[in-house]
Amino acid sequence: MTKLSIVYHSGYGHTAKVAEHVAKGARGVTGVSLDVLKADDLQTAEEGPWDTLAAADGIIFGSPTYMGASSSVFRKFAESSSKTWMNGGWRDKIAAGFTNSGSLAGDKLNTLQEMMILAGQHGMIWANYGAFPGYNTSKSDFGAAWNRAGHMIGLGTQSLTDLPADETPDKADLSTSEDFGQRIAEITKRWVAGKA
């Protein structure tokens, strides 16, 4: 059985909604078991479900974009992972990342880059999203567009800032999230199978 974990932070529930849909996509891949963890529970190196992450074959990071970067709760989790870094505990695991923010762009790329660098620090194998951008021609349908924000290195979704998490992100972004989760689960499964 391939083991995948999602570890995410969400201050106001919107990124949690994205995480739910990433999880839904990942759970659809046979032979993959998934743990969904909150960065809030991993704020020090001593406490929290670090063993679950140690046992995982792949870890998907998730954070809202706050002030053009990952949230402080996510950063504290990232810094707390330095004890794991010291013994190479995440080396050669698959890594991927998603972020959600109010604007279509909103400097989400910086958050994804932070996650990619975190993975690089740990010697993990970064898996991009790589989906074609769904809104980049005059024929594109904005409302139905998958990967509307057009990020390639990870998943970027949008939550309109005046709406609650049960109304935003919209259906297209949530479908994109499921596709992303499925892709990372499949990549992790192939990575594990290749090691056998």
Ligand X SMILES: Cc1cc2nc3c(=O)[nH]c(=O)nc-3n(C[C@H](O)[C@H](O)[C@H](O)COP(=O)(O)O)c2cc1C
Contact set with ligand X (CB under 6 A): 10-15, 64-68, 100-103, 106-107, 159, 161
> Smallest gap, in angstroms, from Cβ of residue 145 to ligand X?
18
Q: How far is the CB of 158 from ligand X (least distance, A)?
A: 8
Q: Which is nearer to ligand X, 110 or 175 (CB)?
A: 110
Q: Which is nearer to ligand X, 97 or 106 (by Cβ)?
A: 106
Closest Cα partner for 174 from 17, 59, 4? 17
Beta strands in 72-114 (DSSP E): 94-101
- Is residue 125 within 8 Å of residue 93, measured between CB atoms? yes
Report the alpha-carbon distance of residue 26 to residue 38 in Å, rounded: 17
- Report the residue number, 109 or 127, with the smaller CB distance to ligand X: 109
The phi and psi torsions of 37 (rounded to 5 degrees) equal: -115, 155
Contact 13, 56 (CB under 8 A): no
Residue whose CB is less far from ligand X, 57 or 64: 64
Cis peptide before 169 (omega within 30 of 0): yes
Closest residue to ligand X, judged by C-beta, is 106
Q: How far is the CB of 88 from ligand X (least distance, A)?
A: 31
Least distance (Å) between residue 161 CB and ligand X: 5
Separation CA 173–CA 139 (nearest Å) = 19
Torsion angles phi and psi, residue 36, rounded to 5: -110, 115
Outline where 81-156 has alpha helix (H). Answer: 82-86, 108-121
**Token pair 């839904």: residue:** 24
Q: Least CB distance from residue 182 to ligand X, whole Å?
A: 22
The smaller minimum CB distance to ligand X, of residues 54 and 160, is found at 160
Nearer to ligand X, 14 or 151 (CB): 14
Nearest distance in Å: CB 133, ligand X = 18
